[in-house]
Structure 1
Amino acid sequence: MASERVGPGAEVAMRLMEQRTILITGATDGLGRALAADLAGRGATVLVHGRNERRGQDTLDEIRERVPGAQLHCYRADLASLDEVREFAAAVEGEHKTLDTLANNAGIGSTVPGGGVRQESVEGHELRFAVNYLAGYLLTRLLLPVLRAAAPSRIVNVSSLGQTPIDFGDVMLAKDYSGVRAYCQSKLAQVMFPAAESQPAGKAVGPACASSNLAPATSSKCSSEAQRSLFCISGVCSRMPP
């Protein structure tokens, strides 16, 4: 076992990759899918989350074809429903006593089917704020017991350089709505969550449960940048250099 410092002056033991359990939301497509395959190839037990059960199974089949014997589990949940987020967290906690890394990767971009029309989650929240921020916030909170049980553990928020100030008088953007503004606001909230939780008054994360924000390349045309992003996220998830 190697060691890592978590908090001032603290040094704690790191588990080998083969002993780690890593949950990736939004792991049935794009960067999340590639990350799941990368970490499975390194020997980690990977919990694959997706909104569609068929795509989840296809992801597992594809990874197992590339990595025979990969340790994989699939969870289906629509992050636009906080009730489904709660059920998702309960399922993970019920099947895994410890969780080494939670990668909050799932999200909705600035454009979605439906064009520029404002959309809402099941509970009536603006859709991007609900999926990109509220769902990850709730999932993280609910999984803190199993994250703490695996200390030193890590929470990784896959964020964006696209951010804009939050209008606290109209957080749900009932007025002057735009998909880009909704996306950028949700990503700022996502970045601020671990910053707020690290304050002494909160103590929600704890000294042995580190939190990180990453802003990967998002253009499908920038393959080299996307590849560097994958290596960066893989490195943070596993606490190994990229």
Structure 2
Amino acid sequence: MPDTTIVITGATDGLGRALATHLAADPSIRLILHGRSRHRLDALRAEFTALPARIDTVLADLSELAQVRGLAEQISSLTDHISVLVNNAGIGAGEPDGTTRQLTIDGNELRFAVNYLAPFALTQRLLPLLDAGAPARIVNVASIGQSPIDFDDLTLRHGYSGQRAYGQSKLAIVTYSLTLAQALDPSRVTVNSLHPATYMPTKMVLDSVGYSIDSLESGLIATLRLVTDPTLAGISGRFYDGTTPTRAHANAHRADIQRRLWEISEQLTD
């Protein structure tokens, strides 16, 4: 079996940082940690110097699809297999990234681009490395706050709100998780998504809503379970609220929506 190599996006803050910190204490693990700030990645690497896990860092702004493709190339240059891919990076419904409608350089709505198109494009490009690391896992950090996808107005020119954009992007990542799980052999690669916790005290949450509900520790425990729990071997195509299996928004389970989302995702990500 290959060495355990875990890729975490959005590892310099919040849940991603907490997950990386916990896993870095294990000498049998190699971490490939993503961030969009070189300064913060360097600070993270320096902080982890005394920890036993092997650490590599990769830089990319996930709002730009060219950089997402470059991120996949960076990761591929560092390893020939991936044991776990944690798609954690994301933008919330409000601050610090703002509540107004923003388009990326590719013309996509910002939250849809970062929270969904980036993990879709990255995961699709890393599937050969995940298969090489089998049994491997894909863990998509989503949310219980899911809104219907407007396929006729994906950039939400009409009726925009940060919460609606966020909910649409999170329904998309859950839908993708369910669709991809059906396409892969669960004995080789599993795909699950979760709502880790509600309003954890991360910078994104505190800047946006000003208060927290659940602890960061509760979100860490829920996410870590999908990453490492041996009892979940072969379990795929699930959505969890914390550690509890639950049903996602009804649209995520509709075959016509799964098919349409996949087709448009391929078109948008080339």
Q: Is the 8 A contact 1:216 1:226 kept in 2?
A: no
Determine which of 178, 186, 192 is the counterpart of 2:175: 192
In the alignment, structure 1 segments of 5+ residues that lack a partner are: 1-13
Q: Is the 8 A contact 2:142 2:193 kept in 1?
A: yes
**What does residue 230 of structure 1 align with?**
220
In the alignment, structure 1 residue 54 sits paired with structure 2 residue 42: no
Secondary structure in 2 matching 1:163? coil
Secondary structure of 1:41's counterpart equals coil
* Counterpart for residue 169 of structure 1: 152
Separation of aligned partners in 2, 1:222 and 1:114: 18
Runs of 5+ in structure 2 lacking a partner?
202-210, 232-242, 244-270
Q: Report the Cα distance in structure 1 between the residues aligned to 2:200 and 2:229, rounded to whole angstroms.
A: 26
Give 1:224 deviation, angstroms: 5.9
SS at match of 2:159: coil
CA RMSD in angstroms comes to 1.8
In structure 1, what is the equivalent of residue 23 of structure 2?
A: 39
Deviates more, 1:229-238 or 1:147-156: 229-238
* Letter paired with 1:153: A
Distance in 2, matches of 1:31 and 1:171, equals 28
Structure 1 residue ranges, 4+ long, deviating more than 4 angstroms after superposition: 221-224
Alpha-carbon offset, residue 230 of structure 1: 0.4
Query: How far is the alpha carbon of 1:121 from its aligned partner?
Result: 1.3
Amino acid at match of 1:235: R
Residue of structure 2 in register with 1:219 after alignment: 200
Q: Is the 8 A contact 2:108 2:155 kept in 1?
A: yes
TM-score by length of 1: 0.85
- Counterpart of 2:49 in structure 1 is 64
Q: Percent identity?
A: 43
With structure 2 as the length reference, what TM-score do the two structures score?
0.77
Label 1:136 to 1:191 Cα distance change in 2 as closer, same or farther (>3 A).
Answer: same
1:194 Cα deviation after fit:
1.5
Number of equivalences: 220
In the TM superposition, residue 70 of structure 1 has moved relative to its aligned partner by: 2.7
Match of 1:30 in 2: 14
**2:98 aligned with 1:115, yes or no?**
yes
Alpha-carbon offset, residue 197 of structure 1: 1.8
- 122, 132, 139: which one pairs with 2:122? 139
Partner Cα separation in structure 2 for residue 236 and residue 117 of structure 1: 34
CA distance in 1, matches of 2:32, 2:19: 11
